[in-house]
Structure 1
Amino acid sequence: MEILIKASQFILSLSLLIVLHELGHFIPAKLFKTRVEKFYLFFDYKFSIFKKKIGDTVYGIGWIPLGGYVKISGMIDESMDTEQMALPPQPWEFRSKPAWQRLIIMLGGVFVNFVLGIFIYIMLMYAYGEKFLPNDNLTDGVWVQDSLATKAGLETGDKILTIDGEKIRRFNDITLGLINGNNYQIERNGEVIDKEIPIDFISDLVDRGKDAGAILLPRYPFVIAGISEGSVNLNSDLKSKDIVVSINGNAIKYFDQAQAELDKYKNQDISITVKRGTEIKEVAVKVTDKGKLGVGIGQLSFKDLEKLGYYNLADIQYSFAEAIPAGWNKSWKTLTNYIKQLKKIFNPSTGAYKGLGGFISIGSIFPDEFSAESFWNITAFLSIMLGFMNLLPIPALDGGHVVFTLWEMITGKKPGDKFLEYAQVVGFILLVALLLFANGNDIFRLFK
């Protein structure tokens, strides 16, 4: 059922983005009296699930959910209609239109993607505002959860100040910042230290697997979730939801401080102090030969931590006027982060190419249960990503056509039809290779 919910959200989001992207080409083509022969959601190789001709255009749904397209008369595109191109140009054809009109038609899809992404982010800011844990609230630093963070030079208690010179505003931005960045600055025991992010940080992160958990967390209190069967403290007075605040008279505030204290008392009977609701209680416990209490560790939400006085969460609400710049800033941040990640992917030494994913990876980012806020957040991200990807100067993409049209406008020389055909084939091969690699990565990770 969870897979079905994820897949349904993915298909709905993808369909919306494809239709609006192609509409971005369709509308200016019609405005400039250019004939559009087909408008398709998904690809219709050999047959269509649905099609209907209205005027000069066949509207349809294909059976291959890898994208969509509009077929514009007199344009060399993925249809590779060389027979039409061999005939004399007609007034309604794309190739007969002035270069500036062709440029607008080609940029229409990308324009819609960017505008849609910005619009969604603005509306999300207006409807939901922003709720996050400010990085400045982590006055006692972070909890290092994984050897990968240790390899990057981090220790529990470090306060992460900046990444690539940019101040970290949200705690949740830290891991993405380490992925995209090259260096960072921390405060450790009152000293400010500059650190380099290892070149293979992303490679190691991918190798951990997506289910390995966070490499960093806010520092949590020692909350008891329950007593394990067979535990040396099964018959003790410990209760679920107790918060350990002292071990044998030594105060602790965070769970990461507990192990060092317990290691001092292996195989001993000791007293610990717990906070139980509003009460403070002393409890006699035994410590195992491995320095454990034999209890389950409870996880707390940010809201729970706020109630306990550990952190103050930011909850910013925006008027519609305020949501406009906030949504724009969110869109710009999303785009620049994506560009940084692409740069890492094209640098083999980072190993970021191993994290490149296809449809399974994209589908997996949708939540197991439908949430309007999450759905639209992901759709906005995908819209901006799709817009940027289509701007890449690859012949089979909008960006490739834009490059050739700009060349014509600058030099006054139009590339020949044969050259454009060959360029389209090369671009198509590159895209197929990228598609196979990305989805191959997904399959490899599934088996791994």
Structure 2
Amino acid sequence: MGIIIQISQFLLGLSLLIILHELGHFIPAKLFGTRVEKFYLFFDVKFSLFKKKIGETVYGIGWLPLGGYVKISGMIDESMDTEAMAEEPKPWEFRSKPAWQRLIIMLGGVFVNFVLAYVIYFFLSFIYGDQFRDASTIQDGYLVENPLLTDLGFKTGDNITKVGDYVVENVSDIKGNFIGAKTITFIRDGVEQTITMPVDFLGQFSDSKRRDLFEMRYPLMVVKASDTSANKGANLKDKDVIRTVGGKTIKYIDQLKPVLNDLKGQEVEVTLLRDEKLITEKLKIDDNANLGIVYYSGADSKTMEKLGYYKMKTKEYSFGESFAGGYNKFTGQMGKYFGQLKEIGNVETGAYKGVGGFYAILNVFPDYWHWQTFWSITAFLSIMLGVLNLLPIPALDGGHVMFLLYEMISGRKPSDKFMEYAQTAGFFILIGLVLFANGNDIFKAIFN
């Protein structure tokens, strides 16, 4: 069921972004009297799932969910309709319009992507506000199990206070600011320390089989005793929190294994927190140092706050304040994404190894439905789609914009033949990037 929810969110988010992006081209084209021959969600290679002609435009849904397009008359695009371009320009064609109108048509899709992202962040601020785990209230630092980090000198219990130039306020922002961070500052045993990150850390991380960086430390919360456990009939209930084992305090789940290793083969007294009361129970530890109990791998924020592990911080926005709140979220995410592209473009960082395709985007969505999460992810993907379309590759909007700016500055329009060659070259570059990104997904699925 989880994968169905993921795919549903992926297709809904992708479809919304594609339709609105293409509307960004379609609307100004129509306003300037330019004929739009086709408006498609997804690609209709050989056949369409649905199509209907209304006026001069065919609206349809293709079968290949790799994007979408509008086919504008008199424009050299992915259709490569060279026969139409060989004819004399018609008044309703793209090539007959002034350069400034053509520029607006080409920038329309990106403009809509950025406006959409801002509007989503505005409503997220107004409806949900900001609620996050206050990093200043974390008591005993974070869990560090990734060998890449332990080899650099990090240890479980380190309390991360600064990632690069970002002073950590929101726990969730640690990962978001990790890309491009040259140093990580933390508190260990009351002493502030700083570790310099290797230039190629992102490449090493992409090559590793571990997907975690700094994780939250969670309490030892019981689900049940396993069916084959010697403790199957013990007085254990769902969400009991184990506080002590054999007289030794267990505050976090990562502290359990060393204690069990010292007590294996014994029956010991265990203290449980249940409904805010402490109770004791006798449990057996087998010869392999296992209690035979299934545990929660995490806990929700309300439970963690109630148990005193950290505090949640909440900020609510009025309707007027949401304009600034949405703007701050929008610019913050824009900055992070440009930072990612900068690292990817620097071969020394190895960040290009982490580039993912459609499967990676699918996995960004959770396997449960939560509207706030869905819209947050969709807003970021809208920014990503807008920025990528601005890249100066002829097959993308940014490539067309690049040639239009050249025309407006120089007063010389590139020939149709040149544009055909440029479009073909851009198409192959784009296909190469798509194959590389999705090839990375396949490589990681097989080897990681």
Q: Aligned residue for 2:377?
A: 378
Contact (CA 8 Å) 1:159, 1:188: kept in 2 or not?
yes
1:129 alignment partner AA: G
Q: Aligned residue for 1:61?
A: 61
Q: Aligned residue for 2:305?
A: 306
- CA–CA distance in 1 between the matches of 2:47 and 2:99? 34
Work out whether 1:387 is the aligned partner of 2:382.
Answer: no
Counterpart of 1:217 (choices 207, 215, 218) is: 215
Unaligned runs of 5+ in 1: none
Moved more, 346-355 or 108-117: 346-355
Q: Aligned residue for 1:76?
A: 76
> Which whole-Å deviations, capped at 9, do the CAs of 1:223-271 have from their partners, x for residues lacking one?
3444456656667767664434345555453333444455555556655
> Which whole-Å deviations, capped at 9, do the CAs of 1:178-214 have from their partners, x for residues lacking one?
24423221122222222122344334433455xx564
Q: Aligned residue for 1:173?
A: 173
> Which whole-Å deviations, capped at 9, do the CAs of 1:352-380 have from their partners, x for residues lacking one?
33332222222233333433223322221
Distance 1:196 1:272, change over 3 A: same
Match of 2:172, SS state, is helix
Distance 1:237 1:371, change over 3 A: closer
Work out whether 1:426 is the aligned partner of 2:391.
Answer: no
Q: Aligned residue for 1:161?
A: 161
Question: How large is the RMSD of aligned CA atoms in angstroms?
Answer: 2.8
Match of 2:193, SS state, is strand
Distance 1:229 1:410, change over 3 A: same
Match of 1:136, SS state, is helix
Distance 1:153 1:320, change over 3 A: farther
Q: Aligned residue for 2:275?
A: 277
Distance 1:290 1:49, change over 3 A: closer
- CA–CA distance in 2 between the matches of 1:409 and 1:176? 39
Distance 1:127 1:46, change over 3 A: same
Match of 1:320, SS state, is coil
TM-score between the two structures when normalised by the length of structure 1: 0.89
- CA–CA distance in 2 between the matches of 1:104 and 1:38? 19
Q: Aligned residue for 1:101?
A: 101
- CA–CA distance in 2 between the matches of 1:390 and 1:193? 41
> Which whole-Å deviations, capped at 9, do the CAs of 1:23-69 have from their partners, x for residues lacking one?
11111112222222222222233333333333333323333322222
> Which whole-Å deviations, capped at 9, do the CAs of 1:259-292 have from their partners, x for residues lacking one?
4455555556655544343433455556556655
1:428 alignment partner AA: F
- CA–CA distance in 2 between the matches of 1:342 and 1:378? 18
Moved more, 67-76 or 19-28: 67-76
Moved more, 100-109 or 243-252: 243-252
- CA–CA distance in 2 between the matches of 1:292 and 1:152? 31
2:30 alignment partner AA: K
Work out whether 1:253 is the aligned partner of 2:251.
Answer: yes
Q: Aligned residue for 1:19?
A: 19
Offset of residue 113 of structure 1: 0.6
- CA–CA distance in 1 between the matches of 2:19 and 2:281? 64
Match of 2:42, SS state, is strand
Moved more, 230-239 or 437-446: 230-239
Match of 2:436, SS state, is helix
Match of 1:392, SS state, is coil
- CA–CA distance in 2 between the matches of 1:282 and 1:42? 60
> Which whole-Å deviations, capped at 9, do the CAs of 1:332-353 have from their partners, x for residues lacking one?
2222222222233333444433
Distance 1:306 1:419, change over 3 A: same
Distance 1:130 1:264, change over 3 A: same
- CA–CA distance in 2 between the matches of 1:42 and 1:262? 55
Offset of residue 92 of structure 1: 2.5
Contact (CA 8 Å) 1:143, 1:216: kept in 2 or not?
yes
Offset of residue 165 of structure 1: 1.1
- CA–CA distance in 2 between the matches of 1:237 and 1:74? 76
Q: How many residues align?
A: 446
- CA–CA distance in 1 between the matches of 2:5 and 2:184? 39
Unaligned runs of 5+ in 2: none
Moved more, 421-430 or 163-172: 163-172
Match of 2:95, SS state, is helix
Q: Aligned residue for 1:195?
A: 195
1:71 alignment partner AA: K
TM-score between the two structures when normalised by the length of structure 2: 0.89
Match of 2:393, SS state, is coil
Contact (CA 8 Å) 1:113, 1:387: kept in 2 or not?
yes
Distance 1:226 1:41, change over 3 A: closer
- CA–CA distance in 1 between the matches of 2:140 and 2:318? 34
Match of 1:319, SS state, is coil
Work out whether 1:403 is the aligned partner of 2:389.
Answer: no
Offset of residue 402 of structure 1: 0.8
Q: Aligned residue for 1:417?
A: 416
- CA–CA distance in 1 between the matches of 2:220 and 2:69? 56
- CA–CA distance in 2 between the matches of 1:62 and 1:269? 64
2:55 alignment partner AA: G
Contact (CA 8 Å) 2:164, 2:178: kept in 1 or not?
no
- CA–CA distance in 1 between the matches of 2:433 and 2:356? 10
Contact (CA 8 Å) 1:138, 1:218: kept in 2 or not?
no
- CA–CA distance in 2 between the matches of 1:254 and 1:68? 49
Moved more, 257-266 or 336-345: 257-266
After TM superposition, list the pairs within 5 Å mapping 1:104-123 onto structure 2.
104-123=104-123
- CA–CA distance in 2 between the matches of 1:18 and 1:410? 31
Distance 1:421 1:306, change over 3 A: same
Offset of residue 112 of structure 1: 0.4
Distance 1:81 1:369, change over 3 A: same
> Which whole-Å deviations, capped at 9, do the CAs of 1:390-411 have from their partners, x for residues lacking one?
0001011000111111112222
> Which whole-Å deviations, capped at 9, do the CAs of 1:405-428 have from their partners, x for residues lacking one?
111222222222222111111100
Match of 1:45, SS state, is strand
Contact (CA 8 Å) 2:25, 2:108: kept in 1 or not?
yes
1:223 alignment partner AA: M
1:313 alignment partner AA: M
